[in-house]
Amino acid sequence: MRANSSHREKAGDWLVGVDVGGTFTDFSARNLETGQVRVHKRPSTPDDPGRAVIDGLAEFVEKHDIDPASITRFAHGTTVATNALLQRRGAKVVVVTTRGFRDLLEIGRQIRPHLYDLQRDNPAPLASRDLRFEIDERIGSRGEVVRPLNDAAIAALIAELRQHPEIEGIAVCLLFSYLNGDHEAKLAEALRAAFPDLLVSVSREVQPEFREYERFSTTLINAFLQPEVSRYIDRLRNKVGDAAPKATFGIFQSSGGLMSAAKAADFPVRTALSGPAAGAVGAARSGALSKIGDIITLDIGGTSSDVCLIRNGRTAIARMRDISGFSIRLPMVDIHTIGAGGGSIAVLGSDGLMKVGPESAGAVPGPACYNRGGTLPTVSDANSVLNRLPQELVGGGFTLRRDLAVEALKPVADKLGIGLERAAMGIIDIVNSNIVRAIRTISVEKGNDPRKFALMSFGGAGGLHAAEVARALGMKQVLVPEAPGILCADGLIAADLQEDFVTSCHLKLAAGVSELEQIAQELFGLGQHWLKTEAVDAQGEQLLLFLDMRYVGQNYELPIEIEATVDTQGHVALPDADTLAKVFFATYERNFGHYDPEAPVEIVNARLRVLAHLARNDGVQKKVETEATEVRTIQVWFGEGYRDTALIERAGLKSGDSFQGPAIVTQLDTTTIVPPDAVVRIDEAGNMIMDLNND
């Protein structure tokens, strides 16, 4: 116990996770010594997300009587990069590339994501053509110097750039720099010296991987985001330092681990899916406490819904993502996001059909039932009309107005010529259908049967829709964590420090693994150096090797995890070629339903993920016994009419309790609907397990 906090109820160091969402900013804290967990929610401040973080932190420590000096780690999940990209609110950036490749960013790939929409154009590049400059140099496809980069060419480029005083950042994207980065390094050094006030993003530093368009696009996005995100991180880090002077400051990255604030400022593109990825990490941890490893997550917030597949306790990883039409080639937790949340607005289209989302009422003005000025019908209003939401939310912080929800939905019901409840149910059914399609995208379309997984609901609105979504997919079990609305913030506490390394290679598997072992040796050396310099306080470490493999002639590859061994001298050994082929065949068959054992296989990339385990208390918190409140009965709409429904406080439930639906379970951070034919039990981890009659 710290001397200056001996009078306080809680002893020991605290870990704090803060996740900023579109509607709420969530706080979760865990005591390293006692395992106690404390949570808090407050409305987000879209004009300045950091204000909700700092104000909420002050409210949080006061509410729970936590000494700010006892906070030793502050982990933050941020949407600043995502929002800046979606709104194109970034820096004025120039691109410097090899002569002849000025238009590569605009040409992109010959893929039409909306095949039958002849009017839709690709989004305009983040750097207009007049801000894309060519330089006379060339690295060849084997890493050889075809045309040297001379000082005269660099001087001429710098003179051109000086004619554009409005620029805020520079993206350096040279051909084949992932094989030979000498030209990029020389050019970046000269640009940083000539323009010390500008931020320079270099493709070999951002992601040294083959496929020029994707590498160029990722680097440009990084340069576009860097000024905005770095300013935000610097301001927030300073304010958090004032509020919690002993806390180390970490930013959550899209790949599922923490990185330092300095690294996040240098590579903001890594935070493009920061918040949702933290939810997936929290879900994996929560499932492990209940000994459930195969999970499909459903995170519904105020603006969007995120779904992710977790197999054997590990989140699926995607190497390529498209965000708002822009390609990002980086490892990210494979999350599929749709515009369907509690604040999603229902509208009648010109065809007379109702559509829900992606437009959202957000935090301001919010759904009509929040009584904050919103007047448009939203998903939350539909749930309020059907009495599926309690009168008070966020522990009494919000008092809902059902009459305002009725007023918002009535024009829609009148135009459709149906009753108010049928209109509300229609809004919910549309949202559920959209979510079901999203889950099929990450499960059925990738060779996974959702009926073999449990659905884990979290986020502020996840529990309102989970049972109906699970039933539509044939799933039989819904898992609701103890604090589902705070799970993203809790995932930040559970996360490790993480770094990813990649080397592009083009090796035929039949040639053997000796060259591949040499590449793996170099990657492990980089990983060990990172551990010594960036993770000095780690409690343990883990190095995971992946190979991107494909059949010769194919254009895309599958990531395959490889069991590498390291002897006492640090030498890396890999399985033989036949063993690697068998692992590839098994993965290929699971994804596509077949494989060809005779076709030649090649390796495109070798990847190393390094995890530095941080101190945390993963034990199940002993729940403080709370007197069960008297169960009230309310009228809730199920099916075609209202039914007597138990209103149960989650705080009064303890391990071993069980009950039959219909019921509405309320708690600080979410509301869970239990349909009439479902049975709920509370397991030893404090998670709520809902078993559905879904035969």
Listed ranges 37-41, 105-109, 113-117, 584-588; the one with the highest mean pLDDT: 584-588
Q: Rounded to 5 degrees, what are φ and ψ at 145? A: -85, 110
Mean pLDDT of 21-43: 85
Q: Which residue has the higher pLDDT, 182 or 116?
A: 182
Mean pLDDT of 594-601: 95
Query: What local confidence, expressed as pLDDT, does residue 472 receive?
Result: 95
Do 222 and 255 reside in the same domain of the chain? no
Instruction: Please say whether the beta carbons of 78 and 49 come within 8 A.
Output: yes
Torsion sign over Cα 115, 117, 121, 122: negative
Mean pLDDT of 351-373: 86
Do 135 and 210 reside in the same domain of the chain? yes
In this predicted structure, the answer to whether residue 9 has a pLDDT above a threshold of 70 is no
Query: What local confidence, expressed as pLDDT, does residue 1 receive?
Result: 29
| Confidence label for 568 from pLDDT (cuts 50, 70 and 90) | confident
Query: What local confidence, expressed as pLDDT, does residue 503 receive?
Result: 94
Do 80 and 150 reside in the same domain of the chain? no
The predicted-structure confidence for 303-317, as pLDDT tens digits, reads as follows 888 999 999 999 988
Question: What CATH number is associated with residue 520?
Answer: 3.30.1490
In sequence order, the 6+-apart residues with CB closer than 8 A to the CB of 64 are 10, 29, 38, 40
Do 222 and 163 reside in the same domain of the chain? yes
Mean pLDDT of 140-145: 94
Torsion sign over Cα 339, 344, 345, 348: positive
Cis bond before residue 113 (omega within 30° of 0)? no
Which is it for strands 332-333 and 295-300: parallel, antiparallel or unpaired? unpaired
Measure the CA–CA gap between 214 and 202, rounded to whole angstroms.
14
Which is it for strands 572-573 and 37-43: parallel, antiparallel or unpaired? unpaired
The predicted-structure confidence for 200-244, as pLDDT tens digits, reads as follows 999 999 999 999 999 999 999 999 999 999 999 999 999 999 999
Amino acid at 387: N
Residue 34 belongs to some domain of the structure: yes
Q: Rounded to 5 degrees, what are φ and ψ at 266? A: -75, -35
**Domain boundary residue, one of 208, 228, 248:** 228
Torsion sign over Cα 267, 268, 273, 279: positive
Measure the CA–CA gap between 653 and 44, rounded to whole angstroms.
30
Do 154 and 256 reside in the same domain of the chain? no
Query: What local confidence, expressed as pLDDT, does residue 110 receive?
Result: 76
Give the number of other Cβ atoms within 10 Å of residue 65's Cβ.
12
In this predicted structure, the answer to whether residue 362 has a pLDDT above a threshold of 80 is no
| Confidence label for 538 from pLDDT (cuts 50, 70 and 90) | confident
Residue 328 belongs to some domain of the structure: no
Residue 74 belongs to some domain of the structure: yes
Instruction: Please say whether the beta carbons of 639 and 661 come within 8 A.
Output: no
Q: What is the CA radius of gyration of the chain?
A: 26
Percent of the chain, pLDDT > 90? 67
Q: What 3-state class would DSSP assign to 321?
A: strand
Measure the CA–CA gap between 29 and 61, rounded to whole angstroms.
10
Q: Which residue has the higher pLDDT, 253 or 626?
A: 253
Query: What local confidence, expressed as pLDDT, does residue 3 receive?
Result: 35
Question: CA end-to-end span of the chain, whole Å?
Answer: 54
Question: What CATH number is associated with residue 256?
Answer: 3.30.420.40
Percent of the chain, pLDDT > 70? 95
Mean pLDDT of 477-485: 91
| Confidence label for 422 from pLDDT (cuts 50, 70 and 90) | very high
| Confidence label for 2 from pLDDT (cuts 50, 70 and 90) | very low
**Domain boundary residue, one of 168, 194, 228:** 228
Structure tokens at 587: 């993965």
Cis bond before residue 331 (omega within 30° of 0)? no
Listed ranges 150-164, 291-305, 386-400; the one with the highest mean pLDDT: 150-164
- Half-sphere exposure of 3 toward its Cβ, with a 13 Å CA cutoff? 0
Mean pLDDT of 622-642: 75
Residue 657 belongs to some domain of the structure: no
Strand-pairing partners, residue 235, are none
| Confidence label for 625 from pLDDT (cuts 50, 70 and 90) | low
In this predicted structure, the answer to whether residue 662 has a pLDDT above a threshold of 90 is yes
Which of 249, 266, 342, 267 has its CA nearest to residue 18?
249
Residue 604 belongs to some domain of the structure: yes
Instruction: Please say whether the beta carbons of 192 and 168 come within 8 A.
Output: no
Q: Rounded to 5 degrees, what are φ and ψ at 660? A: -105, 145
pTM to 2 decimal places = 0.86
DSSP state of 114: S
Residues of the domain holding 594:
496-613
Tell me the pLDDT of the chain averaged across its residues. 89
Residue 528 belongs to some domain of the structure: yes
In this predicted structure, the answer to whether residue 628 has a pLDDT above a threshold of 90 is no
Task: Please provide the DSSP assignment of 221-270 as one string.
Answer: HHHHHHHHHHHHHHHHHHHHHHHSTT-EEEEE-TTSSEEEHHHHHH-GGG
Query: What local confidence, expressed as pLDDT, does residue 498 receive?
Result: 93
Structural domains of the chain, count = 3
Residue 646 belongs to some domain of the structure: no
* Cα 58 to chain centroid, rounded: 26
In this predicted structure, the answer to whether residue 132 has a pLDDT above a threshold of 90 is yes
Mean pLDDT of 602-614: 94
Do 220 and 152 reside in the same domain of the chain? yes
Lowest mean pLDDT across 3-17, 495-509, 640-654: 3-17
Q: Which residue has the higher pLDDT, 11 or 629?
A: 629
Query: What local confidence, expressed as pLDDT, does residue 6 receive?
Result: 38
Residue 119 belongs to some domain of the structure: yes
Q: Rounded to 5 degrees, what are φ and ψ at 322? A: -115, 120
In this predicted structure, the answer to whether residue 619 has a pLDDT above a threshold of 80 is no
In this predicted structure, the answer to whether residue 8 has a pLDDT above a threshold of 80 is no
Do 148 and 36 reside in the same domain of the chain? no
Do 554 and 593 reside in the same domain of the chain? yes
**Domain boundary residue, one of 241, 271, 301:** 271
Do 591 and 551 reside in the same domain of the chain? yes
Mean pLDDT of 361-376: 87
Question: What CATH number is associated with residue 118?
Answer: 3.40.50
In sequence order, the 6+-apart residues with CB closer than 8 A to the CB of 340 are 300, 304, 305, 356, 357, 358, 379, 431, 434, 435
Torsion angle defined by CA atoms of residues 56, 61, 62 and 66, in that order, rounded to the nearest 10 degrees: 180
Query: What local confidence, expressed as pLDDT, does residue 546 receive?
Result: 96
In this predicted structure, the answer to whether residue 357 has a pLDDT above a threshold of 90 is no
Q: Angle of helix 462-473 relative to helix 420-442, nearest 10 degrees? A: 70
Question: What does the buried/exposed string (b/e) look like for 303-321 if buried means 16 or more CB atoms within 10 Å of the residue's CB?
Answer: bbbbbbbbeeeebbbbbeb
Q: Which residue has the higher pLDDT, 4 or 533?
A: 533
Do 99 and 216 reside in the same domain of the chain? yes
Do 167 and 186 reside in the same domain of the chain? yes
Instruction: Please say whether the beta carbons of 405 and 368 come within 8 A.
Output: yes
Query: What local confidence, expressed as pLDDT, does residue 451 receive?
Result: 95
Do 178 and 67 reside in the same domain of the chain? no
Query: What local confidence, expressed as pLDDT, does residue 10 receive?
Result: 47
